[in-house]
Structure 1
Amino acid sequence: MTAGSTTAERVLSFHEFLAGIDLQLPNGFKAVNPYAKDRSAGAAAALITDFYETFYADCLPRHLILGSSPARRGSAITGVPFAGPEVLSRLNHELAQGYRVAPASARFLDSVIHSYGGYSAFYQNFLMGFACPIGIISVLEGSRERNANYYDTQPLRRAVDNLLVESFRRQAECGADRSVCYVIGSGSNYKILAELNRDLQCFEELVPLPHPRYVTQYAPSRTAEFADLYLRELRRRT
């Protein structure tokens, strides 16, 4: 990354790298690349640029927060990790105005962000991304399409291994603060990124956070408790 570049410039440069990725996946899976070259002149590209130039046009060091991969009806459409319709509606683009999907996980994170101090305060301290920034969809014959995790099968994991390594390294450079990286998902996603970090030494520490989907689907009565856990961890280092 260019010395002195803004966070927005570093992230958009990373997206240019992703635009050239042609991910070859095992049978039964397909990739959804929100940064693909055939979308580079479309509404998604304009939305992505506007988002990062709105919230990241500076050189402040930020902590990185990494989920597993973008959902097919969420970030795989918009290209903006974990951003729901509330924050995207602030951006004057057709895709943002028409984007109304608000999964429970996005609503949970929105509540955490609001409690933290709002979007501007949150994005000033944190940069969100994915271990595998290209979405993966299961397309098994006879079944409807559904989101897949990059670690669901060993052949799938092997197919994305080089992308995981390069994305982890490049996103560490985008955030710049190497003291800690937060990992959404305390199971496989955290385990895999912890192994990568032992090899690459990108961060001093990785901190797992419970996945919002787990919270909202399996422990909805404890939503406030898990939101407080997020806030304690995030505020402990900012």
Structure 2
Amino acid sequence: MQTWADFLLHYYTSLQPPDSLPNDVQWLFPQKEKTVQEIIGQFFRKFYNDSGQRILWLGINPGRFGAGVTGVNFTAPRQLSQYCGIEHPFKSQSEISAEFIYSVIEQYGGAELFYHHYFIGSVCPLGFVQHGKNINYYDDKQLLQKVEPFIVDSLQRLVSFNINRQRCICVGGEKNFRYLNDLNEKYNWFDEIIPLPHPRFVMQYKRKSVREYVDMYLKAIS
């Protein structure tokens, strides 16, 4: 039987996004690089070398300091080595959303236990950069119109593997949740979608209450 590791490595390295994007937006597609392919291969073989069922988390889309570097969602280079035990050639930088997510992962019991039960993906599996800055798929109506078929196809492929369809964790409780919920009403991927505040919002505006938000995440997935 195909393992998650095999499925995910093929999934990310065979993505075929639209070639051109509107309004000077560029794709963030690190999995095209051989070095990143080697790193995600190590990550998937370490944590996903089985075919057991997982509950899916879906963020918005990768950013240029986290998954845009490592190819692993909500995992910047520092978290990749410190918490996942995977050495890499990347600059040892962190990213605030990754810091929050790994606080949750550590409280849950560590990366091995967490990834045994969950997979973190994104509504759009690839990220976007506009004039050197991150942009989300929903920030530009023309961009969303262009990439929606790619988003739908990518999500269809992702949920076709051994995903628990009873619930999905949506990381980003406002625009990301609304869009994902609209798609779910059309395609019936999940029985329930649980929205949670985005880690960047928590770390930027609610840093004094981080522990409360970590507990909120843990309660949602318990």
Is 2:13–2:37's contact at 8 Å kept on the other side of the alignment? Answer: no
1:160 alignment partner, one of 121, 134, 147: 147
1:71 alignment partner, one of 59, 63, 81: 63
Is 2:69–2:76's contact at 8 Å kept on the other side of the alignment? Answer: no
Whether 2:40 is the aligned partner of 1:45: answer no
Q: Give aligned-pair identity as a percent.
A: 34
> Runs of 5+ in structure 1 lacking a partner?
140-144
Shift of 1:24: 1.9
Please give the alpha-carbon distance, in whole angstroms, between the structure 2 residues aligned to 1:99 and 1:83: 13
TM-score by length of 2: 0.94
Stretch moving more, 146-155 or 7-16: 7-16
Stretch moving more, 24-33 or 208-217: 24-33
1:14 alignment partner, one of 5, 8, 11: 11
Q: 1:186 to 1:199 in 2, by over 3 A?
A: same
Shift of 1:29: 1.1
Q: Counterparts of 1:15-164 in structure 2 under 5 Å?
A: 15-18=12-15, 20-36=16-32, 39=33, 42-89=34-81, 90-93=85-88, 95=89, 98-139=90-131, 145-164=132-151
Please give the alpha-carbon distance, in whole angstroms, between the structure 2 residues aligned to 1:21 and 1:226: 34
Shift of 1:84: 3.2
Question: Which amino acid in structure 1 is aligned with residue 36 of structure 2?
Answer: A
Q: 1:175 to 1:113 in 2, by over 3 A?
A: farther
The Cα offsets for residues 205-233 of structure 1, whole Å up to 9 and x where unpaired, read as 11111100000101111111110000001
Q: Secondary structure at the match of 1:150?
A: coil
Q: 1:79 to 1:175 in 2, by over 3 A?
A: farther
Q: 1:23 to 1:230 in 2, by over 3 A?
A: farther
Is 1:87–1:119's contact at 8 Å kept on the other side of the alignment? Answer: no
Please give the alpha-carbon distance, in whole angstroms, between the structure 2 residues aligned to 1:216 and 1:73: 15
Q: Secondary structure at the match of 1:35?
A: helix
Please give the alpha-carbon distance, in whole angstroms, between the structure 2 residues aligned to 1:173 and 1:198: 17
Q: Secondary structure at the match of 2:40?
A: helix
Q: Secondary structure at the match of 2:61?
A: coil
Is 1:69–1:149's contact at 8 Å kept on the other side of the alignment? Answer: yes
Stretch moving more, 68-77 or 78-87: 78-87
Is 1:11–1:174's contact at 8 Å kept on the other side of the alignment? Answer: no
1:211 alignment partner, one of 194, 198, 204: 198
4+ residue stretches of structure 1 with deviation over 6 A?
none
Shift of 1:100: 1.6
CA-based RMSD: 1.4
Shift of 1:99: 3.5
The Cα offsets for residues 126-179 of structure 1, whole Å up to 9 and x where unpaired, read as 00111111110112xxxxx11000000110110110111011111212452111
Whether 2:214 is the aligned partner of 1:227: answer yes
Question: Which amino acid in structure 1 is aligned with residue 217 of structure 2?
Answer: Y
